[in-house]
Chains A and B, each alone.
Chain A
Amino acid sequence: MNTLSSSPGRLALRRFLRNRTAVSSVVFLLLATVVSVFGPWVMAIDPNQGSESPFVSPGALHWMGTDIHGRDLFSRVLVGTRISLLVGAVGAGVSVLIGVTWGLVSGWRGGRTDAWMMRFVDVLYALPTVVWVMLTLTLFETRCVGWLSERWPASIPAFRLAAMMVSLGSVSWLTMARIVRAQVLSLRERPFILAAQSIGVPPVRLMLRHFLPNLAGVVIVYLTLTVPAVVLYESFLSFLGLGVRPPQASLGTLIADGASQLNSVRVRWWLLVFPAGLMTLMLAALNGVGEGLRSAFEPRDGNGD
């Protein structure tokens, strides 16, 4: 318990703002998001428009060069960042949604429900996630796309992206669930919860107004750490050929394409350096934010509970 009048949230914010790495990371991320979302519109270069000048190295006309079809790499990288951020955010969001709900319910109910729910988590832990992701993506591609192509073909790319985000999120929620459950178990015995219960506050209200704010710290930290994991997973899927569909591009697909430039015969360095560099910076920034949040939310006295 603190003796200051400010809320824990505001304290954390103050601590966060003092952390220079964290703040610069946030600024970078915001900048990247804004530029990637609005950039292509403002610059009016079509990332899918081929031209007659393939493999041009970076210069005045094409800031990051062009690829084999003569498409401007800069606009493709912007669009790719947009999609990667989207996939990362929504994927992590899905995992948070499932994980928090699961952990909350499991921790609150306790007893046998808790035991069974955690056992289910154990089962999923035992299943190699790559298999699951490949299965769901392929199943979606074959069963659902056919059904959709008859009714609403224009939505297919959006649905594909959604399928990927959901499947990526569905393999990352396990750790979140465990952590939330542990937190709930410890919070459950706190005086203010017991007091609220004795007054007769209904459980749902209890969870929303009392638990969630206290969980927010942990959840946000893990959110910022799950996003990089999801983005990297998507790039791995692109390496396998299961990632975002062409001509859409994500940083993952751009990097997977660019990885072939690591050879000793002919290196078109811009095809790898720019997407990989940007992704590294983005992930580093996300990490910085996560770390900053973590240390901001950590109680200073170190009692550990």
Chain B
Amino acid sequence: MARVALIPVLLWVVATLSFFLLRAVPGGPFDRERAPASREVEAALKARYHWDEPLWRQYGRYLGNVMHGDLGPSLKYRNHSVNDLLGQTVPVSLALGGMAFGVAIGLGIPLGVLAALKRGGWADYAAAGLTLVGVCVPVFVLGPLLVLVLGLWLEWFPVALWGSWQNAVLPTLTLGLYFAARVARWMREGMIEVLRSSHVQTARAKGLSETAVILRHVVPVALVPVISYTGPMLADLLTGSFVVENVFQIPGTGAFFINSFFSRDYTMMMGMVLFYSLLLQVLNLFSDLLLRWVDPRVGS
């Protein structure tokens, strides 16, 4: 389909934009507090990474390498290539993101459903409270707060690092709560809107039990705004994961994402941009497809 064919084109556009814009910012990857030992040494370093070539040549060389799947050497981590670094860290980030997503829908959807069904009841207040925490408290406050309370004071979970399921609880909770709140809210909205509609009267008139009405007719339609939100939500997940991975010292890609800008590691930055761009587009596509499946009325 046309959308799939668009992906490489968009990737190319994103790559080109980033390539040239990044180099417009002053400061280079090899700038250090300590000046280079000599001009010769500086020149040798630059030659090794083809910095002495004109920009167009470097761009062409980079694109050629990317076509072969080689994202280049990292300019900051001199003993690793970008492929190396991504290979080590992507599985971790995907695991964290996947689990946070799981918490978000596992917690958010039922809570949203219950809140809508029992307006003014405990579930509604719980959802409101969750919204307050998830939507209004920044992730870099929520994370350390959970660490302080659940990790240091109560000692229920480890405070940082990655490796066992106990390590995963606090980071997943931090990231997941952030999104569970939003998912619950959207779910509740969608449910309320559908519950009022004539669609539901018809189903009830058909004589179906309340549970069946809810599960078969209300929830799928109410899911529509939730699913259409997953696109932007996943983009948010990426920025959130940077903070969570930083606070919990998790060896994921989030750290590279922002730090590679600060260290002007152009190849790493480009690699990250391409990777995230691909991920965003694939996930957006997936959510659009899901949307179309759930509610065939929704055109493009």
Contact = CB atoms under 8 A, between A and B. Distances in A.
Given A128-B273, A131-B269, A302-B193, A263 B148 contact: yes
B198 A302 contact: yes
Interface in A77-117: none
Contacts of B22: 135
Interface in B178-226: 189, 193, 196-198
Interface string A234-269: 011001100000000000000110010011100000
B145 A262 contact: yes
A4 interface: no
Contacts of B243: 236, 239
A130 B262 CA distance: 12
A228 to B, nearest CB: 7
Given A128-B276, A284-B132, A138 B239 contact: no
A123 B14 contact: yes
B135 A126 contact: no
A104 B284 CA distance: 23
Interface residues of A, number: 41
B140 A259 contact: yes
Contact of B141 (A131, A175, A262, A303): A262
B59 to A, nearest CB: 17
A272 B145 CA distance: 11
Nearest to B137: A280
B26 interface: yes
Nearest to B140: A239
Interface stretch (B46-54, B77-85, B89-97, B230-238): B230-238
Query: Which interface class (under 10, 10 to 19, 20 to 34, 35 or more) fits B?
Result: 35 or more
B193 A298 contact: yes
A232 interface: yes
B141 A127 contact: no
Contacts of B21: 135, 139
B64 to A, nearest CB: 22
B137 A276 contact: yes
A127 B273 contact: yes
Given A135-B21, A142-B26, A304-B197, A235 B284 contact: no
A125 B280 contact: yes
Contact of B17 (A122, A127, A228, A283): A127
Contacts of B255: none
A255 B284 contact: no
A143 B224 CA distance: 45
A184 interface: no
Interface in A171-201: 175
Contacts of A294: 189
B55 interface: no
A200 to B, nearest CB: 31
Which residue, A235, A240, A294, has most C-beta atoms of chain B within 10 A?
A240
Nearest to A128: B276
Contacts of A300: 196
B24 A139 contact: yes
Contacts of A298: 193
The binding surface of chain B is classed by DSSP as: helix
Interface in B79-117: none
Contacts of A293: none
B13 A123 contact: yes
Contacts of A263: 148
B257 interface: yes
B294 interface: no
Contacts of A122: 6, 10
B25 A127 contact: no
B131 A287 contact: yes
B263 interface: no
Given A123-B14, A130-B239, A228 B273 contact: no
Interface in B224-255: 231-232, 235, 238-239, 242-243
Contacts of A175: 232
A220 interface: no
Nearest to B148: A262
A119 B281 CA distance: 12
B161 interface: no
Nearest to A142: B26
A131 B260 CA distance: 10
Contact of B235 (A128, A240, A259): A128
Interface string B265-280: 0000100110011001
A129 interface: yes
A97 B235 CA distance: 22
Nearest to B278: A126
Contact of A276 (B141, B153, B258): B141
A231 B152 CA distance: 30
A228 B185 CA distance: 15
B144 interface: yes
A239 B280 contact: no
The 7 closest A-B pairs by CB, nearest first: A283-B136, A262-B144, A302-B197, A280-B136, A126-B277, A302-B196, A128-B276
Interface of A: 119, 122-123, 125-131, 134-135, 138-139, 142, 175, 228, 232, 235-236, 239-240, 255-256, 259, 262-264, 272, 276, 279-280, 283-284, 287, 294, 298, 300, 302-304
